[in-house]
Amino acid sequence: MKLVFVLFLSITSLWCHSQDRLNIDMNRIPQKKIRSLIEEQYTVLKVSSIRDIEPSCRRKQSLTGYRMLESVYVVREDPETVWKMYNAISPAESWNGRMVSFGLLVSKWKEGVLYNNDSYFSGIDTGQIFYVNLKIMQGLYNLAVGLEIIEVDSVNKAIKFSYLQGGKSRGEQMIYFVPTKKGYTEIIHRTAFRSNSYIRDRFLYPYFHQIAINEFHRNMKNCIFNDKKSEQYVAQTISN
């Protein structure tokens, strides 16, 4: 009886471990740098389960010693609508432009992988890790970046991402949605970052990071207004 119990525990443990493993089809990731980053997580960081991947920042962690950047964007739409769209739009749409391209998304808590050509997306959640590729200097240099969503605050309308452990940068990105006096939405994007290179932190990171997040928020804005136009068209069609 004891032997049967031990075998049961062993099988259960193996099954649970296999459920946690990163079951990723590398052939569905077009960006070479992202494939290399994931392979590096397996070998160098010795990641065997997605839950082994750690963010470089935790919730409410002190950011003393980090460099700070802040950008502000205004969307002529109410905060509730903007918040819902930022939660619902797939990263395959939002992280998709001249500089930034989406590779894939995996979740620590839910099974399944979202690739850049998948159409279904259930919305953002904590524990989601997404990988993007930054094409720098028109593709002369490419950089793969992994980010984990560490907080989704629906009450205060805030989203926080953390860079992953082992990456070139450490820190987090915070997006806040604030109502304006006219009823529009002010989007505040704050970034706390640092690396082992003074030149990178002082000159390179701020410049290329600004281009990347400008592209991201521009994509989001286009998605919001395209969706609103679609709603207006449907309403007009019904009324006619």
Q: Does the residue 213 lie in any domain?
A: yes
Residue type present at position 199: I
98 Rama sector, left if φ>0, alpha if ψ -120 to 50, beta otherwise:
alpha
Q: Does the residue 212 lie in any domain?
A: yes
Q: Does the residue 134 lie in any domain?
A: yes
Q: Does the residue 207 lie in any domain?
A: yes
pLDDT of residue 12 exceeding 80, the answer is no
Q: Does the residue 223 lie in any domain?
A: yes
> Domain of 98: which CATH number?
3.30.530.20
Q: Does the residue 185 lie in any domain?
A: yes
CB 175 within 8 A of CB 188: yes
Q: What is the pLDDT of residues 43-97, one digit of tens each?
A: 877 777 888 999 999 988 899 999 999 999 999 999 999 999 999 999 999 999 9
Say how many domains are in the chain.
Answer: 1
Q: State the residue range of the domain holding 192.
A: 22-58+70-239
Predicted local distance difference test score (pLDDT) of residue 208: 96
Q: Does the residue 4 lie in any domain?
A: no
By C-alpha distance, which of 30, 151, 35 is closest to 96? 30
pLDDT of residue 10 exceeding 80, the answer is no
Query: Using 50, 70 and 90 to split pLDDT, how confident is the model at 136?
Result: very high
Q: What is the pLDDT of residues 152-209, one digit of tens each?
A: 999 999 999 999 998 889 999 999 999 999 999 999 999 999 999 999 999 999 999 9
Q: Does the residue 151 lie in any domain?
A: yes
Burial (CB < 10 A; 0-12, 13-18, 19+), residue 176, is middle
Mean pLDDT of the region 23-48: 90
Please, what is the average pLDDT of the chain? 87
pLDDT of residue 238 exceeding 60, the answer is no
Q: What is the pLDDT of residues 88-102, one digit of tens each?
A: 999 999 999 999 999
pTM for the whole structure: 0.85
Task: List the 170-179 sheet strands across, edge first.
Answer: 67-75, 185-194, 170-179, 158-163, 141-153, 128-136, 100-107, 113-115
